[in-house]
Every structure is written in C-alpha cells, then in structure tokens.
Amino acid sequence: MNIREIMARAPVIPVLTIERESDAVPLARALCAGGLTVLEVTLRTAAALGAITAMRKSVPEAIVGAGTLTRPEDFKRVAEAGGQFAVTPGLTDELALAAKQAPFPLLPGIATASELLAARAAGYSALKFFPAEPAGGTAMLSAFAPVFQDVVFCPTGGITRESAPRYLALANVLCVGGSWITPSAALKSGDWAQIESLARDAAGLARRN
C-alpha cells in the first residue's frame, strides 16, 4: 500500500511509545479490536523495534509502522524489524535518500510552508503536520489548503480527543495521529479493555474525506 491508502484506513493513527516489549501484542490486539489497525511505534525506547517485530508476527491484521526516524540508518533498522511504513518529524536530503531505498512508504513531517515545498519537491504530497498545535493547528492547515491543493496531512502533536474532530473536519486532513488512545496508566496496568474502548471511540470519529 502507498502512504495515502494507509492514512485512509482509519481517522486516527495511534502514536505508541512502548516501554515493555511484552506489551506490544496485547496492545496491538486491543487497538485493532477497537477498529484502529494502523499503528505507529515511535523509536523512542529500547523496546520499539522488538515491539514492531512482535506485532507483525502475532497481529497480522495490523499495519505496523515506525515513527521518530531521525537518521538514515533508522530506515534499515525498521526494515529489519518488519515495519510497513515510516514517519519522520522532518525531512532532510539524507532522510529522503534513505526513504527512497527503503521497502516501505514514508510520511515525512513538515511544520512550515517552506518545509512543505521542499517535501513536495522531493516527491511527497502526503505529509505529517508536526507539531500540529504549536505550529498553528487547524488555522495553519486551513491556510495551506488553497495554496497546496494536492497535499494531504496527518496532523500530530498535541492533538486530543476534544480537538481531533476539528482537524478531521478539514478537507486536506486524511487522519490525525494521537496518543490519547493509550494513556500511560492503562499501559502500565495492562488495561487493554480501556484501550480497546478508547480505540473504538476514536475509530468512530467522522472525517470529511
């Protein structure tokens, strides 16, 4: 699948920071049971790559990608772990080159019009808008819309259950990324029922596209 097809599968992509690899499979099963089948595992912990591999092996209905790729070598590590897509907070020439050599699609991050132009020149028209709230939120995306009519976004960063519907109401937003679906307390206690319930609620959010 290309990145637009992945973004279109659900209105919310859970952004996951996994501290314990043993949480990976029950977490993925709870999210998929709630209707969120596209999962972004951030490369912020030692457990991240192992979590991606475990999810791919045990939860075949999930599309598992990696987030927070910041160095070219990250793409090789994610490919070896079995990642199916990648998300970067920004885009450099080095990252763009590594992405072209990777066996999965990239969702690169941008925060400004200049960064958007650079990403589009590199061949990307589906972008992560990050950090969404500090970078201008829905007002910035609304301003981008008439100027960059071929570009769609997954805003991430500071988005909550309350603010998500405002983003999803925009024509140039395919989905949002958020961590509210996996509260740290629920992860620590293994409350998969709560996470499944939050996922089901998020999966039911309406979007314009």
Identify the active-site residue in 128, 133, 162, 196.
128
For residue 14, whether the previous peptide bond is cis, meaning omega lies within 30 degrees of 0, is no
What's the residue count for the chain? Answer: 209
Distances, alpha carbon 4 to alpha carbons 13, 133, 191, in Å: 13, 22, 31
H/E element, 116 = helix 113-121
40 belongs to the catalytic site: yes
Instruction: Copy the structure tokens of residue 192.
Output: 């998969």
Cα 175 from chain centroid (whole Å): 9
CB 66 within 8 A of CB 83: yes
128 belongs to the catalytic site: yes
Identify the active-site residue in 19, 21, 40, 196.
40
**What residues have CB less than 8 Å from 146, skipping those under 6 apart?**
none
H/E element, 137 = helix 137-147
Residues forming the active site? 40, 128
